A and B are shown apart, each in its own frame.
Chain A
Amino acid sequence: MFRLAVKSVRHNPKRLILTAVAVALGVMLVAATLTLTNALSSGFSKLFEEIYAGTDIIVETDPDAVDADEEEGSPFAAADAVLIPDDLEAIRAVDGVERAEGGVQVMGSVLAKDFEPTGDLTGAGGPPSQLFNWAGDPRIDQSTLVEGSGPAADDEMVLDLDSAPSLGYEIGDTVSVATETGVSEFELVGLVRFGESNSLQGATLGYMTEAAALELTGDDGYQNAAVIVEEGANQDSVAAAIGEVIPDGTRAITGEAKAAEQTEALDEVFQYIDIFAIAFALIALFVGSYIIVNTFRIIVTQRTREFGLMRAIGVTGKQLRRMILLEAVVIALVASTVGLVVGYLGAVGLSMIVESFTGDLFGTVTLPLDAVLASYVLGMIVTVASALIPAIHASTISPMEALREAGTESKKPLHLRNIVGGAMALLGVLAIAVGLYMDLDRPYIYVGVGAVLLVLGVTLLAAQVLVPLAYALKAFLTRLFGIDGKLAANNIHREPRRSANTAAALMIGVMLLALVATFTESLKTVVSDQFAGNNADFFVLDPSGPIPEGALEIIEGEDGVAFVTSTGLAQATVDGVNRSVATVDPETAEQAFDYNNEPGFDQMDGGVFIDPTLKEAGVAVGDELTIEGPEGTATLTVTGEYLNAGDAQVWIPEDIAAEILGEVAIFQSMVVLEDDADVEALREQIVDALAEDYPLVILQSPDAFQQLANQFIDLLLGVISALLAAALIVALLGVANTLLLSVTERTREIGLLRAVGVKRGSVWRMITIESMVMSVFGTILGMLLGVGLGAALVLALQEFGFDTVTVPWMWMAIYTIAAAVAGILAAIWPAWRASRLDILKAIATDG
């Protein structure tokens, strides 16, 4: 039987090429993703190994010992100092320790030599700087001095050998380093190389003396310590001994274990990337399954007489079914192998392109075992499962079919299909509604299952709904294209299942595109609605971290500035639960920005506002909340609600916050100018004032800020569209494939048309019209579903500030035109085949 299946596949490969390509495309995505993330992971684990290569033991904050209320801390702050010089002495006294040095990391940016502050995002940013204290021992610094000398005086520093020239510095130059407290200047005295090859992924690496580093952090201790053990000493037992002498909340871990821990943490991130990309691959494969179903169904029809003959000479239905499934297995094997190889080569190519920009980033690009497994398993499941229904259909073919003339296929009514389709679509809508609007655990499962049901249901219904609709165009098409249009409409109508499946494959891809477009357009509306309530003239930003207090003081002091109002973000224990807390100035906040709250912040009255999360937890206006921070505890009355979910959970006045939370990192500041101020002139004035100490601080106008947000949203749409491209290509292959197979099936008919004088061009046009009608209808159906689902999603997210559904009209127009063009393209091969048919052979053809 296997031999027969292989023979059958080899005998007529043309009808299976597009099917195999469809499977291969999906598999390719899977293989490429897994290969790339595997290479990235091995690249980073190499980096981690290098970072901790020389260091035997690291003493650092114990992640397990961090109190719940201190977890996270403020998002931008550098690690706290956890070791004092006495601790370092205690570590040095441990048996087996050869050397131990405290580590200090400075949060700051090395400015390029020709840096000019502009107050814009452009020109700022770039890769972050990594600034440490210099121990002078490569085992601890992980860097080796390659030129000049190490930093000896407190106004000296060294940079890595790649960054110094790219920032424009030579040894002897003065280097500017911007930190939260201002700009410091150092003399560049030497160049270092990180690890073996200075592969820093584009970051700038710099070292200064311990005293200079401590001065910049403002701390009197170390964030960690690096320990070198004596030769012959056991690292694990020394680490255990050190563990005895270091303060609570810190731990001693070997360099090797630390590298492994970091790699593991990163691998978790890569796993999410894998899941994300594989989701899109699955979509492509799902669309591909429509093509496989169609192909096998058509093949079974075309081979009805062959199967009938086999049945007549004693092949059982079961054997026939097994044979067709074996054919599917053969295709899956070939297609998965092709997909795997192309995916792997694509990943290798991509990694080389990326590395030509970033330098060493990937480890050795090898084909990981899970990519091989996933490729074959997915390819096999999709192909065989899709071939199952046509195979069952084939097994019921009566041996009498062998005796019938070709093309006298019995037609089954669509009633059952409609009932099942309707039920599935209804259930799907129901499941989506339940997932979106009921408060259940894991709502995405309901939404996902519902969406699949809806798509399958609509596919089934499409045979009854879509095809008659297309058929209704007959008069229009006839008028427009004459007999070609009439024949095209008839052809679509003739095989409603086939046409519906073909259009539905495209529908799925377009549906997802329209869904994302609806979502992102609505997101833009949310953004512009929010900016509509804005009175601020500038937003203050600092791309390198929280906004420095000093910078805000300078801005406030400028003539023409009415006031600056800031929002800080911190964590605190609220009634025993760790919550995110935002601080505002109740007097000014509402004047700068129309927050979505009830009432306004100006009526906080020394109390706190709560967000929907707390409201759901049972807290109401008038209740009292006990807020516990590092500096103190306060019990405050809830005086209002902040209505957007997803921002901070508790909002408190900044004067109260100062007492209980201490210094809070500021993440957003707004500047309001006096009424008659010249905005442009004032902006320049402020940027000049900041240039001395805070050159990296940015003043963004609300318009530019909104534009930036929109650009980001467009980028999101672009990325998702690009990932969906695979599914769309597969869908178009499906259109081409269906047409190609139906051209083969209609060989006699087309031959007859040609014989009675229909021109080649007309045949071409007939196939093209068929293709365009199927594509456009699939697209329209997809857009209806996509916009509908997108609207449901937006409405479900109402509490996050989404209140208007924006229909992406422009995108819909683009998709429709693209579908028509794609229809023309998809028709090229089938139409070429059809128009080239040899008339005599076409009429004489048999079976």
Chain B
Amino acid sequence: MTSTPIELAATMRGGTKDYGSGDTAVRALDGLDVDIARHEFTAIMGPSGSGKSTLLHTLAGLDRLTAGQSSIADTIITGLSEAAITQVRRDNIGFVFQSFNLIPSLSAKENITLPLDIAGVDVDPAWFDEIIGILGLGDRLTHLPAELSGGQQQRVAVARALVARPEIIFADEPSGNLDSKSGAELLGFMRRAVKEFGQTIVMVTHDPTAASYSDRILFLEDGRIVDEMREPTADRVLDRMKQMGH
């Protein structure tokens, strides 16, 4: 299930994003066309300022496009009201950020079930237990975030993203703050989620090793997609990046 993107989890057509106005205007996205296939692990790479984070934010409905349109599953989110976009995020999207992923006052378990609690949906105990088992969080559920290690915190965040079985999970440098062992563990879990549960994940990273866990890499530069790579390895990614001048 590598190269048959029949079903699309998210799309963007002519996506343009400007910051500021007049002389200080900066074009972060420059008429992008992007398709995110279901059940695939997509990585977005690029140097600082290439617009990779902006792409993630606009795809996920956290930020609005200046021009063009984007959709999640069958819903075009461009032009929706803030409340409607929030609804789309709640029902279809999971997030894993680089840091500050958890509400400090809630325990690990409460953080994981938070999206379901907000939506007023019951937790599927079998699914919950399966995720917890895979992520190895069983003995950490009652702890507050401050009592967890960085790797554990990110695993809780992944569990939270998975628990509602969202259409798509967006991850922004999820392993960026972790040591290499914890980072490898985390990315392994994410890959398993795609392979074993058919989850769709889009991840922004600048780390070739992290990107090598994905099925497909989009390379961004100056707000445009400059290349695409399938079945990446860390070495191939590194070579590609050297070409880009990094």
A-to-B contact residues, CB < 8 Å:
4, 7-8, 10-12, 305-306, 309-319, 398-400, 402-403, 846-847
Contact = CB atoms under 8 A, between A and B. Distances in A.
A309 B101 contact: yes
A832 to B, nearest CB: 23
A11 B57 contact: no
Highest count of chain A CB atoms <10 Å: which of B62, B94, B117, B160:
B62
Interface stretch (B24-32, B102-110, B125-133, B134-142): B102-110
Contact of B100 (A305, A313, A317): A305
Interface in B76-102: 82-83, 86-87, 89-91, 93-95, 97, 99-102
Contacts of B172: 403
A392 to B, nearest CB: 14
A400 B63 contact: yes
B193 interface: no
B115 A314 contact: yes
B89 A309 contact: no
17 contacts: A4-B106, A11-B104, A11-B105, A306-B103, A306-B104, A309-B102, A309-B103, A311-B86, A313-B90, A313-B94, A314-B90, A314-B91, A314-B118, A314-B119, A317-B82, A846-B99, A847-B100
Contact of A847 (B82, B104, B115, B160): B104
B105 A12 contact: yes
Contact of B89 (A12, A306, A313): A313
Nearest to B99: A846
B105 A312 contact: no
A644 B39 CA distance: 93
Given A314-B115, A314-B119, A7 B106 contact: yes
Nearest to A312: B95
B105 A313 contact: no
A515 to B, nearest CB: 44
Contacts of B168: none
B114 interface: yes
Contacts of A7: 105-106, 110
Contacts, number: 78
A313 B63 contact: no
A398 B57 CA distance: 12
B83 A316 contact: yes
A38 B160 CA distance: 56
A323 to B, nearest CB: 10
Given A313-B94, A314-B91, A10 B105 contact: yes
A318 B102 CA distance: 20
Contacts of A8: 105
Contacts of B90: 313-315
Contacts of B60: 312
Interface string B51-65: 001000100101100
A107 B117 CA distance: 78
B114 A313 contact: yes
A452 B100 CA distance: 42
A315 B104 contact: no
Highest count of chain A CB atoms <10 Å: which of B90, B102, B110, B115:
B90
Query: Ordered nearest first, which 7 A-B pairs have the shortest CB separation?
Result: A314-B90, A11-B105, A8-B105, A7-B105, A399-B62, A314-B89, A316-B86
A317 B97 contact: no
Contacts of B53: 403
A197 to B, nearest CB: 57
A318 B118 CA distance: 12
B160 A846 contact: no
B44 to A, nearest CB: 15
Contact of A313 (B82, B83, B95, B106): B95
Contacts of B105: 4, 7-8, 10-12
A315 to B, nearest CB: 5
B20 to A, nearest CB: 14
Contacts of A311: 86
B210 to A, nearest CB: 18
A648 B100 CA distance: 76
A398 B87 CA distance: 14
Nearest to A396: B82
Contact of A314 (B86, B99, B102, B110): B86
Nearest to A5: B105
A163 B97 CA distance: 83
A319 B117 CA distance: 12
Given A315-B118, A316-B86, A310 B62 contact: no
A318 B90 CA distance: 14
A274 B63 CA distance: 55
A402 B103 CA distance: 11
B160 A313 contact: yes
B86 to A, nearest CB: 5
Contacts of B110: 7
Nearest to A311: B86
Nearest to B53: A403
A317 B83 contact: yes
B56 to A, nearest CB: 9
Nearest to B63: A400
B87 to A, nearest CB: 7
Contacts of B95: 309, 312-313
B100 to A, nearest CB: 5
Highest count of chain A CB atoms <10 Å: which of B89, B97, B103:
B103
A12 B105 CA distance: 8
Contacts of A317: 82-83, 86
Contact of A309 (B57, B93, B94, B97): B97
A313 B104 contact: no
Given A309-B95, A309-B103, 8 more contacts: A7-B105, A11-B105, A309-B100, A312-B89, A313-B115, A314-B86, A314-B89, A398-B62
B100 A846 contact: yes
A313 B169 CA distance: 11
Contacts of A10: 105
A12 B57 CA distance: 31
Contacts of A306: 100, 103-104
B117 to A, nearest CB: 8
Contacts of B103: 4, 306, 309-310
A501 B62 CA distance: 33
Contact of B97 (A319, A402, A846): A402
Contacts of A4: 103, 105-106, 117
Contacts of A318: 83
Interface string B224-236: 0000000000000
Contacts of A403: 53, 57, 62, 97, 172
B104 A319 contact: no
A4 B172 CA distance: 26
A311 B60 CA distance: 12
Contacts of A846: 99-100
Contacts of B101: 309
A843 B63 CA distance: 30
A12 to B, nearest CB: 7
Nearest to A8: B105
A274 to B, nearest CB: 40
Nearest to A310: B103
A313 B160 CA distance: 10
Contacts of B117: 4
Nearest to B89: A314
Contacts of B91: 314
A82 B101 CA distance: 88
Nearest to A847: B100
B86 A315 contact: yes
Given A317-B83, A319-B118, A400-B57, A312 B62 contact: yes
Contacts of B144: 11
A4 B60 CA distance: 25
Contacts of B118: 310, 313-315, 319
Contacts of B83: 316-318
B16 to A, nearest CB: 18
Nearest to A313: B115
A847 B145 CA distance: 12
B131 to A, nearest CB: 16
Highest count of chain B CB atoms <10 Å: which of A305, A306, A314, A399:
A314
